Structure 1
Amino acid sequence: MKLSKLFALATLVLALLISSMLARILAGEWRHYQATRAGLQALQLAHQAMLAAEKVSLERGPANALMGADAPDAAARQRLADARLGSDATLAALQAALAGAPRQPDAALLAVGKARAALAAARRGVDAVAAQPRAARAPAQIRGAVQHMFDVVPLVMQAVTALSQRAEAVYPQFSGALMSARIAVELREYAGRLGSHFTAALTAQQALSEEDTAHINVLRGRIEQLRLLTTLSPNEANADARVAVALQTMEARYFGDGLAFAGGIVAASKAGRPYGMDSAQFAAGYVPAMQSILQVRDALLALSIDGARQASEQAQRELLLASCLGAAMLLMLAGLLYILRRRVVRPLLWATRAVVDIANGDLDTPVRVSQRRDEIGDMQHALLRLRASNLEKRQLELERQHLIEQLRVSADTDYLTGTLNRRAFTAAGKAMARRCQEHGLPLALIIFDIDYFKAVNDECGHDAGDLVLIRIAELVGRELCDGDILARYGGEEFIVMPVNCDLAGARGVAERLRAAIAAAPIRLPDGASLRVTASFGVTAAGGTPATLDGLFRSADAALYNAKKLGRNRVECG
């Protein structure tokens, strides 16, 4: 195997091995970075899903107020309409975000779709109750409408759970904070349900039923359990200042003021006292206290999202660092191989190529010479001297060939016009005649000379006559197609052999040339402008093979006829 191929193969194998190792490392870093991005996105979507659950829960307030009012006014209906618009917008945005996030669980998207359908059905139940007179609104019907609204939030929470689990798989260090955030959302939901269980009693201004009382007691017990899970969970998130402040606020606002406000309704019901408020007034006093629960949720989520964002940024930095290190390794490898190739392999290859070229008589390849004082340097200088000697011999040979070529061109070219001369035309014309005869192609010949050319020489001088011949040759050369033969046959007479033309086609060529000559003024050295014309004789081969001499005689006779008939015309023979 040649040294160049061996070196290239070794370089390729080494580059593949190192590239494979780097690709494996970079692929792992890339997957880790993608996972952190997907986990961060799952956290953000989980937060968005929690906000959607919050909007649905908040919609129950104006819905309960509308079902509990004597005659719902326009303001109450507008509050419900605004709440519904908020719920719809949040759920639609969540559904669109999930649909555009292919790396997130499909269960979340499915749960949001079910929640939107369930919410639409629950709203129809609320509207059916609110459309009846207050006296006709049965408590069981109100409880059923409220329960249907309750059933929407768990569907949204399914999406929250799926997204949280996706995030926890990537960020296990935030699993405690995420669990506490979900507990806070559940706590907010049960707090809302607790308030909704007063709607039927406040609407009818009746004592709480045994069923309502039982539900309220169960809900208070569940709320207390969730309170303990939120505040006493062994979770590093509780040490965060934001979370600690939010927990203190929740204790004061909801578990202090909110539950006390709800307890007053229970006490009034047991004592048989008037409530002194309707469901809308109760919602206005109770719902704001629940916002403190959402502050706990938001603090826990902010802690998790900030940590996930930092982890994603760290993964991105690690990916960038791995990429830079990999690129540096490849550059170092390339540099080492480059130095080895430049100092050892390439000089040997150049020397080998130079020796082979000189032996084959090819001296165009230069010999690379360096200032090295080793065997390679000595070999390069020896090759340089050998090449110089051979170059000198080749230069002499080239000069000889160039002189021969100049003589050949001079023999074939008209010295004045640069077109073919008569001898060269004869050779070229015979070759074209043979090709046309072999392939069955038409063959035509055009002869023209300049009218009254002797008068041009006599009146303007021979220099002007020479200029006319030169300009006419240039003009005709531009008008002809590639492959057409143009020659100066003698004096002012020119001959044209167009390619693949019959008699009609050759006549057309001649007419075009005649018109071009007649229309082109020729400016003389003294500034005067001169117009000349030319007469044309055209002929073409008949049914039998024709010789070049026969075509010439026929075209010459046609030219004579053109002159006889008045010049500046085309005649066919």
Structure 2
Amino acid sequence: MRLTRMFAVSMAILALLVGAMLGRILWGEWNSYRAARGGLHALQLVQQGMVAAEKLSFERGPMNAVLGDAVPPDPAKRARLAVARAASDQALDSLAAALAASQDQSATVTSIRAQLIAARREVDAVSALPPAQRTPQRLTAAVEGMFALIPVVLDDVTGYAGAAEQAYPNLAKILMKARFAVELREYAGRLGSRLTVALASGQPLAETEHTQIQFLRGQIEQLRHLIVMSTSAIDRDPRVLAALRTMDERYFTSGLALVTGVERDSRAHQPYGMDTAQFAQRYVPFMSPILAVRDVLLEAALDQARQDYDTAQRELLLACLTGGAIVLAMMLLMVILQKRVMVPLARTTRALVKLGNGDFSIRVHETRRHDEIGDLLRAVGQLRAAGLEKQQLEQERQRLIEELRLRADTDYLTGILNRRAFTAAGNQRLRRAREHRLALAVILFDVDRFKAVNDSHGHDAGDQVLIRIAALAREQLRDGEILARYGGEEFVIMPGNCDLEGARVVAERMRRAIEAAPLTLANGHVLHVTASFGVAASEGPHLALDSLFHAADLALYRAKHQGRNRVECEAA
């Protein structure tokens, strides 16, 4: 696997692992936040449920006053009952709205409303009767109808409290004590309501009613003990301690004393000195400190829940920010590694491969980086520079070798092949002619009266003559014909694939060209130069270069002795 692919796969795996880890963390924080939010809402439902229970309990006070009202009824008492009922309805509406906001499909509020309407209808029916027809049974049934509402509401409160405790386990004891305070308020209200029949009828309490009152006193005392008992840090809260002191002073001293006075008058068969309305006006305010205890406990629970909710919200936000920072850092790291490591490394690898293959055309950019990649790039640049220098040296070496070879094969004066180079080239052509059974010809010629030129005009003039003869010969030759200086003023030509007649034609053309080109010396003297030619040709398996040269030499000798400036042929 190539390094770039391995890097991509590694980064993908790393991204998946980091994403999975961050997802797990964020999911946990989201669940904690959602649980805290749900718990806070459940706690708010607890508070509203408790308020609804308290309002329904409070409604029994004005209700008792109306049940004990004379004929004609007192409008003030009816007005107080209407206000209490409106408060109860509003509390139930608030609870229903909170449940709807949480998409709770519970039908409890609807059921409570139905029971409440039935209980109120019974109360209104009894209160509409003349006092003589308000029998203890009808009064008790009306009161019991209102009593039956509270357990239903408190059952819902218990459910909301359970949901809140799941989110905030540390609030369990606080919520439990708040529930105890609500129950204490309910039992205190029931204790006062147990006196309604006796106060409304002016009759002593029945023995069963005394028994129920004692039972309620026991329940009230037990609930007080559970509330006052220290079980958590909330019990040392100054607000709670102050509320408990007020509750003891107001209800457990003055409120219960009022109930005791009614009981005492009942046992003594003495007038009560008050009706149900007067009793409610005096007794209900003594229960307010109980509600204060509930409110203090709920406020403390809500404060703690809000703190926990804010903490969960901050931790979720922090987790999101941290996760985002990690993702951004990882992406930045990938980009940096890709841009500053992988891309330069890939380019450097390609450069090294080309350099290894001898290709120095690749361009290596200069870098100012002072890290390992920068060192690598500079090293590659130095390697390329060294390779280019070596390549240039090698080219120079080859040029020098070629120049030396050329000088070894070239006549230094005329620039054409020398005798050694001609012999090598001639042997190659000889082998080819033998293989293909082709004719091979040789033309020898030299400058006529060359010694006289040297003697009369100097060796420089002789050199000019030789140079001019070589130039004329090159101009007359075609591709495939070999020209060389054979020695002194003597030259040799080997035409390509040419028989004796063809070689003679070439020689004659060369002779006329030399004759027709006089040479003007540096001193202005004009020399008319001629040359004599000896031509030889042969073919067959016994073809030999020495035989050709020998025959051509004989023909050249004959041309010299027959008057010069002519072409003679000889079969080899």
TM-score range, shorter chain: 0.5 to 0.7
Deviations 1:487-530 (A, max 9, x none): xxxxxxxxxxxxxxxxxxxxxxxxxxxxxxxxxxxxxxxxxxxx
Question: Structure 2 matches for 1:219-368, cutoff 5 A?
Answer: 219-349=216-346
Deviations 1:58-91 (A, max 9, x none): 1111111111100322222221111111111111
Residues 112 and 155, structure 1, Cα contact 8 Å, conserved in 2: no
Q: Which amino acid aligns with 2:48?
A: Q
Q: Which amino acid aligns with 1:240?
A: D
Deviations 1:374-417 (A, max 9, x none): 4535768999xxxxxxxxxxxxxxxxxxxxxxxxxxxxxxxxxx
In the TM superposition, residue 51 of structure 1 has moved relative to its aligned partner by 0.3
In the TM superposition, residue 319 of structure 1 has moved relative to its aligned partner by 2.1
Residue 109 of structure 2 is matched in structure 1 by 112
Question: Structure 2 matches for 1:22-41, cutoff 5 A?
Answer: 22-41=22-41
Alpha carbons of 1:204 and 1:367: their partners in 2 closer, same or farther (altered >3 Å)?
farther
Alpha carbons of 1:186 and 1:375: their partners in 2 closer, same or farther (altered >3 Å)?
closer
SS at match of 2:107: helix
Q: Which amino acid aligns with 2:114?
A: A
Q: Which amino acid aligns with 1:144?
A: A
Alpha carbons of 1:367 and 1:58: their partners in 2 closer, same or farther (altered >3 Å)?
farther
Residue 188 of structure 1 is matched in structure 2 by 185
In the TM superposition, residue 48 of structure 1 has moved relative to its aligned partner by 0.7
SS at match of 1:207: coil
Residue 74 of structure 2 is matched in structure 1 by 73
Q: Which amino acid aligns with 2:179?
A: R
Q: Which amino acid aligns with 1:77?
A: R
Q: Which amino acid aligns with 1:117?
A: A
In the TM superposition, residue 147 of structure 1 has moved relative to its aligned partner by 0.3
In the TM superposition, residue 268 of structure 1 has moved relative to its aligned partner by 1.1
Matches of 2:349 and 2:254 in 1, distance apart? Answer: 97
Structure 2 gap ranges (5+): 354-362, 385-572
Alpha carbons of 1:5 and 1:87: their partners in 2 closer, same or farther (altered >3 Å)?
same
Matches of 1:339 and 1:157 in 2, distance apart? Answer: 63
Residues 61 and 280, structure 2, Cα contact 8 Å, conserved in 1: yes
Residues 369 and 381, structure 1, Cα contact 8 Å, conserved in 2: no
Residue 53 of structure 1 is matched in structure 2 by 53
- Aligned positions, number: 373
In the TM superposition, residue 350 of structure 1 has moved relative to its aligned partner by 5.8
Residues 40 and 305, structure 2, Cα contact 8 Å, conserved in 1: yes
In the TM superposition, residue 298 of structure 1 has moved relative to its aligned partner by 0.9
In the TM superposition, residue 204 of structure 1 has moved relative to its aligned partner by 1.2
SS at match of 2:176: helix
Residues 235 and 241, structure 2, Cα contact 8 Å, conserved in 1: yes
Alpha carbons of 1:50 and 1:368: their partners in 2 closer, same or farther (altered >3 Å)?
farther
Q: Which amino acid aligns with 1:100?
A: A
Q: Which amino acid aligns with 2:84?
A: A
Matches of 1:279 and 1:369 in 2, distance apart? Answer: 104
SS at match of 2:231: coil
Residues 202 and 277, structure 1, Cα contact 8 Å, conserved in 2: yes
Matches of 2:326 and 2:365 in 1, distance apart? Answer: 31
Matches of 1:354 and 1:248 in 2, distance apart? Answer: 90
Matches of 2:375 and 2:235 in 1, distance apart? Answer: 76
SS at match of 1:37: helix
Deviations 1:356-382 (A, max 9, x none): 9xxxxxxxxx99764456453576899
Matches of 1:69 and 1:101 in 2, distance apart? Answer: 43
How many percent of aligned residue pairs carry the same amino acid?
Answer: 50
Deviations 1:247-297 (A, max 9, x none): 100000000010101111111111121111110000000000000111111
Larger mean CA deviation between 258-267 and 345-354 belongs to: 345-354
Deviations 1:340-365 (A, max 9, x none): 21222123456789999xxxxxxxxx
Deviations 1:24-76 (A, max 9, x none): 11111111111111111111110110000011011111111111100322222
In the TM superposition, residue 329 of structure 1 has moved relative to its aligned partner by 2.6
Matches of 1:66 and 1:252 in 2, distance apart? Answer: 29
Residues 364 and 380, structure 2, Cα contact 8 Å, conserved in 1: no
Residue 93 of structure 2 is matched in structure 1 by 92
Which of these two proteins has the greater Rg computed from alpha carbons? 2
Residue 6 of structure 1 is matched in structure 2 by 6
Residues 351 and 380, structure 1, Cα contact 8 Å, conserved in 2: no
Alpha carbons of 1:206 and 1:345: their partners in 2 closer, same or farther (altered >3 Å)?
same
Q: Which amino acid aligns with 1:185?
A: V
Matches of 2:305 and 2:250 in 1, distance apart? Answer: 30
In the TM superposition, residue 236 of structure 1 has moved relative to its aligned partner by 2.8
Matches of 2:219 and 2:376 in 1, distance apart? Answer: 94
What TM-score, normalized to structure 1? 0.61
What TM-score, normalized to structure 2? 0.61
Residue 550 of structure 2 is matched in structure 1 by none
Residues 36 and 167, structure 2, Cα contact 8 Å, conserved in 1: yes
Residues 243 and 296, structure 1, Cα contact 8 Å, conserved in 2: yes
Residue 137 of structure 2 is matched in structure 1 by 140
Residue 18 of structure 1 is matched in structure 2 by 18
Aligned-pair RMSD on alpha carbons?
A: 2.7
Deviations 1:433-491 (A, max 9, x none): xxxxxxxxxxxxxxxxxxxxxxxxxxxxxxxxxxxxxxxxxxxxxxxxxxxxxxxxxxx
Q: Which amino acid aligns with 2:335?
A: Y
Matches of 1:354 and 1:129 in 2, distance apart? Answer: 106
Residue 125 of structure 1 pairs with residue 122 of structure 2: yes
Q: Which amino acid aligns with 1:24?
A: R
In the TM superposition, residue 188 of structure 1 has moved relative to its aligned partner by 0.3
In the TM superposition, residue 320 of structure 1 has moved relative to its aligned partner by 2.4
Matches of 2:350 and 2:96 in 1, distance apart? Answer: 70
Residues 352 and 380, structure 2, Cα contact 8 Å, conserved in 1: no
Matches of 1:291 and 1:137 in 2, distance apart? Answer: 30
Matches of 1:42 and 1:287 in 2, distance apart? Answer: 29
In the TM superposition, residue 18 of structure 1 has moved relative to its aligned partner by 0.8
Matches of 1:18 and 1:287 in 2, distance apart? Answer: 63
Alpha carbons of 1:113 and 1:368: their partners in 2 closer, same or farther (altered >3 Å)?
farther
Matches of 1:283 and 1:113 in 2, distance apart? Answer: 29
Residues 39 and 163, structure 2, Cα contact 8 Å, conserved in 1: yes
In the TM superposition, residue 235 of structure 1 has moved relative to its aligned partner by 3.4
In the TM superposition, residue 330 of structure 1 has moved relative to its aligned partner by 2.6
Q: Which amino acid aligns with 2:10?
A: A
